[in-house]
Structures are given as C-alpha cells and as structure tokens.
Amino acid sequence: MRSWNGPEVPRLPGHGPLPRLWDTPSRSLVEARPLAIANLYVCGITPYDATHLGHAATYLAYDTLVRLWRDAGYDVTYVQNVTDVDDPLLERATATGVDWRDLAASQIELFRGDMQSLGIIPPDHYLAVTELIPSIVGAVERLVESGIAYTVGTDVYFDSAAAAAASPWHLGQESRLDRDTMLVLSAERGGDPGTPGKRDPLDPVLWRGERPGEPSWPGGDLGQGRPGWHIECSVIAQDFMDVPLTVQGGGHDLVFPHHEFTAGHTAALTGRDHAALYSHAGLVAYRGEKMSKSLGNLVLVSQLTGAGVDPRAIRLALLAQHYRSDWEWTDAVLDAGIARLHAWAEWASRPSAGTPLLTDLRDALARDLDAPAALAVVDAAVLAGAGPATGDLAAIQALLGVRLVE
C-alpha cells in the first residue's frame, strides 16, 4: 500500500550516539542497538474514524527514533500496518451505512495527509492487513499443526500454555502484568475472556470463522474467516524484517493484550523473540479524558491545519511533551508551540553566530527521546541573543524535523 511523501532530512557531520529507550519488559533504559539494520515495527491505525493528535504524538516519537538511528549511521527498515478489517471498523461502517472498504480508504487517506503535513518519516513498508491474508492463514495453519492453536466452533485460538512450553515466550513476558490485571484488560481491549470453550480465558483468537454480514477470506484448512488482531502484526513483522526486531513500538494501551500476544505468536512461529525492545508511548487526553474515537473527544491535525495553524507549530507542541508521558492537549499547549515556532524562526533570521547545538541536541534525544530537553537546548540559544551557529538549522531540521528557513 502507498504510504506518504517523506520530509527532507539533511545529513549531519559525524554520527550521533545510539538512543537508549525505556523497555517495557525489563522496566529499564536499554540501548536500541541494531544487529545490522535497525528494524522497527510500529502498530498502525484502525481506520474507522479520523486520526487524532494522540496518534500523531505516537508516530512522532518513532519518527524521532528513525532520525536518531539514521544519524547514528544505521540503515532503518520501518514497517507499519493498518488494521483495515476489525470489529470497530465494521461496527462503524454498519452504523453509518458506509461500506467498510470505503470508510477505511477515506480514513487512511486522512492519516496520510496528517502524517505528511507533520513531516513524519513514512514507513518503508506500509501494509493493510487485507493485503497479507494468505500469509496470515499459513502462519495460523502452522500453529494448528504444531499443537499451539485449537478450535472453538469455527474460530481458532492461540494456546498460551502450549506456546509457553514450546517457545521462549510465556504469558506476561512482555507486559509483566499479573493475571487479574490481564483479565480486566483483555475484556476492555478487544479480547474475549468470557467466551466458553477456551483453554485459557486469555487465549486470543487467531482466525475468526465467517459470520453473516461480515467480510471474510478463504482460510484453507481454517475455513472462511478473517484474522485475529495480534497475529496480523506478528506475521507482517516477520514477512518484512528479521526477528527479534530492534524495537516494537506503539501506544501504551497496546502493552496488553496486543504486544503480549504478538510476542507470543512470533515466538511460537519462529522460536525467537519478537523484539529486543518494546517501547510504548503515552496517551493524550483532551478535556479530562483520554482522546479516543469511542469518547468522541478528538482533536484532529487536519482541523488545526485547516484552521490555518502551521503544522510545524503542531509538531513543536507535540515535541514539548515527553513521548512516554500521558498528557493533555489544551489551547495553551498549542499556543506554546505557535510561540516557539515564531521565536525560533526569528532567531533563524539573525546573522550566523553562537556555539553549535548539534552535540547537545543529539545527547538530549538519545536519552529516551527526550524531545522537551532538545527543545530547551534551542530555546536557550534563542534567548542568548546571537543567531544560529553554522549547521544549527540543519541539525534542527534533521533531528527535530522542523525546517526554519526556506
């Protein structure tokens, strides 16, 4: 599937340090060191409603990671999916009388526009789940053959206990959550712990047998149906990159069950870990609640740019929050981004002077993508009065993605 046009990223002199990122399973900062190529998978959107600033903040965090790897001298393979067939999408399509394919296509197009206007580096492989069905079917068939999957009616489930016995993964390896918490989160986030007949209430569906009125695909031995959520990302990652991935990323609402079982599926299929590092971004609230489609309290990038806000100001507003924090979008956050862009642009027009910022910017961002600290480095130079040193504007463009002069 087509992604979007990437921004221009200047090459900087020398190389920056490798970034250290907070790793969810080990609960520590871990160097994101590629084996050869940096392999990054970030879970994409379910395109049933407009993309919002919460998404933008997540993809901006991993855009920063890609910039840092490239600056450290590594080639990057970046893969992102679109979950273009899923319960919420189908429910929304039914409720609005729009064909689910048209709904998905329109929302994916909005997402592309938002990502491009924010200067987010596109994935090298941008994949709709519906493009990968045969590969997913093959993976589920292999799990059935190896006794790590079982059927309940026309559905196929992942056997967590069998996978733990046969692979380096065990339930809780990625999330480090206790069982009671897992049961609550499973029910809240797309799982079906109450379905009778499962060997473990937490076992996730791998292949959902055809239901009347729902789209379905040929599933070979599995029968007509559609894939479960976690197996999609596991298979797409394996099809385009070597595992263990350097980093698996996403919003922290994906810690469980999504990334737990993505890890389990990959381990069961390959005998290897899914990722060396699991990174999770914070969630964005608006008017006191998590910004989400279901709550209807969205602020959209396209709304803001449509109202005349410079996308660079939105980018600076997002970068002013640490990616792992949960934070709230307010008018004051946007106003600060607009004011910062204004001040930086004025500084950029001053005659060249000052001490180069490159080392300080690289060091700030390498410490768990600390964009607020990187902004503070530039703010200090702006306040100091002299103009940018030679190379500063390229460094800001390459590392922070903000181009200050034409």
By beta-carbon proximity to Zn ion, the closer residue of 58 and 160 is: 58
Question: Applying CB under 5 A, which part among 36-44, 47-55, 61-69, 290-298 lies near Zn ion?
Answer: 36-44
User: Strand 28-31 vs strand 20-23: parallel, antiparallel, or unpaired?
Assistant: antiparallel
State yes or no: residue 43 binds Zn ion (CB under 5 A). Answer: yes
State yes or no: residue 233 binds Zn ion (CB under 5 A). Answer: yes
- Candidates 254, 259, 337; CA nearest to 299 is 337
Question: Applying CB under 5 A, which part among 6-14, 172-180, 227-235, 373-381 lies near Zn ion?
Answer: 227-235
- What's the closest the beta carbon of residue 367 comes to Zn ion, in angstroms? 27
What is the C-alpha to C-alpha distance for residues 67 and 213, in angstroms, rounded to an integer?
A: 44
- What's the closest the beta carbon of residue 141 comes to Zn ion, in angstroms? 21
Residue 91 structure tokens: 């429910």
DSSP per residue over 63-132, as a string? HHHHHHHHHTT--EEEEEEE--S-HHHHHHHHHHT--HHHHHHHHHHHHHHHHHHTTPPPPSEEEEGGGS
Tokens 């999609």 correspond to 232
Question: Applying CB under 5 A, which part among 38-46, 50-58, 268-276, 353-361 lies near Zn ion?
Answer: 38-46
User: Strand 225-227 vs strand 205-209: parallel, antiparallel, or unpaired?
Assistant: antiparallel
Within the chain, what is the greatest distance between any pair of CA atoms?
A: 73
By beta-carbon proximity to Zn ion, the closer residue of 279 and 397 is: 279
- What's the closest the beta carbon of residue 300 comes to Zn ion, in angstroms? 22
By beta-carbon proximity to Zn ion, the closer residue of 278 and 329 is: 278
Handedness of CA 71, 74, 77, 78 (dihedral sign): negative
What is the C-alpha to C-alpha distance for residues 174 and 248, in angstroms, rounded to an integer?
A: 11
How many whole angstroms from its chain centre is CA 384?
Answer: 37
Question: Applying CB under 5 A, which part among 39-47, 181-189, 212-220, 240-248 lies near Zn ion?
Answer: 39-47
- Candidates 127, 188, 156; CA nearest to 3 is 127
Look at the chain and count its residues. Answer: 406
Tokens 């990054």 correspond to 40
- What's the closest the beta carbon of residue 71 comes to Zn ion, in angstroms? 26
By beta-carbon proximity to Zn ion, the closer residue of 12 and 202 is: 202
- What's the closest the beta carbon of residue 291 comes to Zn ion, in angstroms? 19
By beta-carbon proximity to Zn ion, the closer residue of 72 and 233 is: 233
By beta-carbon proximity to Zn ion, the closer residue of 21 and 43 is: 43
State yes or no: residue 263 binds Zn ion (CB under 5 A). Answer: no
Do 348 and 386 meet the contact criterion of CB atoms below 8 Å apart? no
State yes or no: residue 237 binds Zn ion (CB under 5 A). Answer: no
- Residues near Zn ion (CB under 5 A), total: 2
Question: Applying CB under 5 A, which part among 150-158, 217-225, 229-237, 291-299 lies near Zn ion?
Answer: 229-237
By beta-carbon proximity to Zn ion, the closer residue of 231 and 395 is: 231
By beta-carbon proximity to Zn ion, the closer residue of 245 and 393 is: 245
- What's the closest the beta carbon of residue 282 comes to Zn ion, in angstroms? 17
Question: Applying CB under 5 A, which part among 22-30, 41-49, 64-72, 87-95 lies near Zn ion?
Answer: 41-49
- What's the closest the beta carbon of residue 320 comes to Zn ion, in angstroms? 27
- What's the closest the beta carbon of residue 321 comes to Zn ion, in angstroms? 23
What mask of x and - would describe binding to Zn ion in positions 153 to 182, judged by CB under 5 A? ------------------------------
By beta-carbon proximity to Zn ion, the closer residue of 43 and 149 is: 43
What is the C-alpha to C-alpha distance for residues 104 and 93, in angstroms, rounded to an integer?
A: 9
Do 7 and 59 meet the contact criterion of CB atoms below 8 Å apart? no
Report the number of secondary-structure helices (H) and strands (E) in the chain: 14, 14
Using CB under 5 A as the binding rule, the residues of this chain from 347 to 386 that contact Zn ion are none
By beta-carbon proximity to Zn ion, the closer residue of 110 and 233 is: 233
Question: Applying CB under 5 A, which part among 156-164, 225-233, 268-276, 308-316 lies near Zn ion?
Answer: 225-233
- What's the closest the beta carbon of residue 233 comes to Zn ion, in angstroms? 3
What is the C-alpha to C-alpha distance for residues 53 and 280, in angstroms, rounded to an integer?
A: 16
| CB-based burial, 136-163: b 16+ in 10 Å, e otherwise | bbebbbebbeeebbbebeebbbbbbebb
Which residues here bind Zn ion, judged by CB under 5 A?
A: 43, 233
